[in-house]
Amino acid sequence: MLGATGYLGSEFLTLLAQAFPGYPVVALLREPTPQRIAALSAIHPNVTTVEGSLDSADVIQRQAAEADIVINAASSDHSPSVKAILQGLEKNSLARPGQPPLYIHVSGCGIVSDDARGEPVDHVQEWSDIGLDLNQCPPTNMHLESDIPITTAGTRTDVPIRTIILYPGQIYGVGEGIQKTTLWLRIFLDMTKKVGHAGTWGPGANSMNNIHVRDAAEGMLVVLKAALEGKADEGAEGHYFLTTMERKVSYREWTQVLGDILYAKGIIKEAGSRPMPSEVVEPLGHYGWSLLGGNQFTKPERLARLGWVPKHSAELSLLDSFPAAIDVALQEGS
């Protein structure tokens, strides 16, 4: 498993330990200190570690060549590590004819982002994961550099690999794993403190589907169980939006709440939100506009078919999660 100590990865690992406590897990760990190993062991009793980072291609390829299942919840845009995983799984498949390995990859809904640049849009396309063709997505969007090769590998018959890609929306909430808060919140907190105000890319009228971290982890487990039972869609059909149909919140709205909370804490001197200055926006170029200025509307129809119900998102909304999540994120960053 890659990303086992991360926000979503460690949340999933807590659920995996409950569902399959005896199932051995090998976790790639960049710095296997006694403290980090103990933190992993505390959430899963049957985990071992192998030292390496996402740049350790030889280590990743070797581990993938020996694993029945590879779960990648690390950086979805690190294409060299994805390439190493696929190369290892090819060796795995060739060594065990008739027993193709399973690869579950966590990507993101950035694949369907439009070019709104934070402006209001009259009509935003809503994408379903049923019949999703990655080649129909805007070709410059994030994640596709990894997702298309994964899907291609999952359609080969000469060297079969079972592939499934999960596409989370805006994940939020305080997790129960090792990393308690989501990366995007920590990035926006740092940015807000440096600039002195909360802000958006452009006017911030854009939005995306959101999901509580517990629901996202439970969705991963539902897909894994379905795959083990031979009931999951895979390969060309193995695309699962990991989102909910709860109310979408515009970037302007949630950054306004972020700014108000930090202002009330005395961390910044300006409440509310306004567009980020060009010196913040321009260095990220198209990547920033696509990720932070686009709309991403999705329907998680494949997970619904499997009976998945995102109850935690219904109980705690994105905006209602902010006070606790911001407190924890500030502690994690201190």
Q: Give the DSSP letter string of 155-198.
A: T-SSS--EEEEEEE-EEES--SSSS-S-HHHHHHHHHHHHHSSE
Asked whether residue 196 is assigned to any structural domain, the reply reads: yes
**Burial track 63-89 (b if 16+ CB lie within 10 A, e otherwise):** bbbebebbbbbbbbbbeebbbbbbbbb
Measured between alpha carbons, how far is residue 34 from residues 31, 84, 283 in Å? 9, 27, 38
Closest CA to 119 of 54, 202, 57: 202
Per-residue pLDDT 10s for the chain (334 aa) are 999 999 999 999 999 999 999 999 999 999 999 999 999 999 999 999 999 999 999 999 999 999 999 999 999 899 999 999 999 999 999 999 999 999 999 999 999 999 899 999 999 999 999 999 999 999 988 899 999 999 999 999 999 999 999 999 999 999 999 999 999 999 999 999 999 999 999 999 999 999 999 999 999 999 999 999 999 999 999 999 999 999 999 999 999 999 999 999 999 999 999 999 999 999 999 989 999 999 999 999 999 999 999 999 999 999 999 999 999 999 987 5
Whether residue 150 lies inside any domain: the answer is yes
Instruction: Kindly state whether residue 308 falls inside one of the protein's structural domains.
Output: yes
State the pLDDT at residue 130: 98
Range of the domain at 257: 7-328
> What is the tally of structural domains in the chain?
1
Say if 2 falls within a structural domain. Answer: no
Q: Say which CATH number the domain at 77 has.
A: 3.40.50.720
Q: Between helices 144-153 and 79-95, what is the axis angle to 10°?
A: 10
Does residue 333 fall inside a structural domain?
A: no
pLDDT given for residue 115 in this prediction: 86
Contact between 169 and 299 under an 8 Å Cβ cutoff? The reply is no
Does the residue 113 lie in any domain? yes
C-alpha distances (whole Å) from 45 to each of 35, 40, 67, 176, 179 are 15, 8, 19, 16, 18
